[in-house]
Amino acid sequence: MQVIHKTIKWLVLILSVFVILSFTNKSMNNQMANLNSLEIDYKKFIDNNNVIKYLTKNNVSFDSVLISDINLVLIEEVLNKHPYIRRAEIYCDQTGNINILLNNRIPYVRVIKNSDDFYLDSNMIKLPVSGKYTENVLIITGKFVKSDKKVKKLIKLINNNDFWRSQITQIHFKDKRDVILITRVGDQIIEFGDLNNPKEKLDNLNIFYKKVMPVEGWQKYSKISLKFNNQIVCTKK
């Protein structure tokens, strides 16, 4: 009898939960949708107004629409197609409030190549430039191949170091064996050479900056070459 009694209690509990959930879903489906919040973690290129206009352009509206008529997954897919959005998350509560959280792409470098001009994020995903805001990032020019792992390594070494990020403003690729660095302080051309041993080359250049430049002055040399292993060859003006 006790087993039967417990079984009945569990069946009643399960049935009650099912009824409550059914009632909640039915009530929720009859709720009108309301865009409650739109959070963007990086607003320099797109803000809330830009996102609303983008959704409207793609036939997405929350005005006078039932929750049951809104496909949240589809809206996420639409948002994830925006070039500045890395990931979109959407959730809805029982009162019909819709909340959107956008994790945006952040420009890592800017590529200027012939007539093409665009940003890349840290995953080398392409972002368009914007008339609204210009990001102060490392500039890449010349025969640049973004899929080259050695290229990525050099860019990472520069961007992850406070000194190099402020000092090196541009990388010019004559080809992958002949790379030039353009610096903010000093008008010397830095011949980086090929992309092998980039950390060692930058370390040698850093030592040169600290020990030689304060003595010789920043205007003495027109060219500093890092092409040769563990050597720095300078050309006077």
Task: Judge whether residue 202 has pLDDT over 50.
Answer: yes
Quick one: pLDDT at residue 187?
A: 81
Q: Global pTM?
A: 0.79
Greater confidence (110 vs 222) lies with 110
Tokens of 196: 């092998």
DSSP assignments along 38-49, one per residue? EEES--SS--HH
CA angle 101, 107, 109 (to 5 degrees): 165
138-142/233-236 β-pairing = unpaired
Interval 97-107 mean pLDDT: 94
Output the CA torsion sign for 208, 210, 214, 219: positive
Least confident among 12-16, 131-135, 185-189: 12-16
Tokens of 92: 């809805």
Greater confidence (186 vs 3) lies with 186
Quick one: pLDDT at residue 69?
A: 81
Quick one: pLDDT at residue 153?
A: 95
Task: Judge whether residue 89 has pLDDT over 80.
Answer: yes
Give the start-end residues of each E strand in 121-232: 126-128, 138-142, 168-175, 178-183, 189-193, 221-225
